[in-house]
Amino acid sequence: MPRLASLPPAPTPAAPAASTRAKGVPSDPQKYAVAVKPSRIDGQGAFAAEPVPARRKIGEIRGEAVSVREARRRAKGRERIMIVELSETRAIDATHSTDPLRFTNHSCRPNAAMRIRQGRVEFYAMRDIAPGEEITVNYGETHHEGRLACRCGAPGCVGRL
């Protein structure tokens, strides 16, 4: 009588891949690659490292949650500040953040918008952004109260922040 070959065992479902992130470490908030490079506007800037489609979230900046009073105290005497006021009482100090969007410069004709949502500082493309293009937002009202010259160079620049 011929011998029947046994079938190989049925494959077992693969176990989910182990996370490369340590427990308690937040995930990367960037949705698109952003590079930090010297900016013609001011200091360092955030530049698209890949195409960003219009109306898409580019990413976020994170930082230390502080009171607005503390944020304003920290801002005094600094040449460059990386603080965003979330409300009348709370702010995010991104000075020590590693998020590249903290280097987003102001422009009177921006290609992105900054939104505060559920205590997060998020950036969205207002139009398609090409690789190598600097990501800019309109800062709106600032603590400079019109005393700081705007350097965006955009047509129709208001001239002051």
Structural domain boundaries in the chain: 28-61+100-139, 63-96
CA 2 to chain centre: 69
pLDDT of residue 144: 62
Query: In b/e form, how buried is each residue of 111-129, taking b as 16+ CB within 10 angstroms?
Result: bbebeeeeeebbbbbeeeb
CATH architecture of the domain with residue range 28-61+100-139: Beta Complex (2.170)
Over its length of 161 residues, how does the chain's per-residue pLDDT go in tens digits? 344 444 444 444 444 444 454 555 556 788 999 999 999 999 999 999 999 999 999 999 999 999 999 998 998 877 777 889 899 999 999 999 999 999 999 999 999 999 999 989 999 999 999 999 999 999 877 666 667 889 999 998 988 88
In angstroms, the CA 5 to CA 85 distance is 71
Q: Give, for 69, the enclosing helix (H) or strand (E).
A: helix 68-75
Please name the amino acid found at residue 146: G
In this predicted structure, what is the pLDDT of residue 45? 97
pLDDT of residue 80: 76
Q: Burial-class residue 54 by CB neighbours within 10 Å (0-12, 13-18, 19+).
A: exposed
pLDDT of residue 68: 93
Closest CA to 45 of 125, 117, 135: 135
pTM of structure: 0.79
Tokens of 69: 């009073």
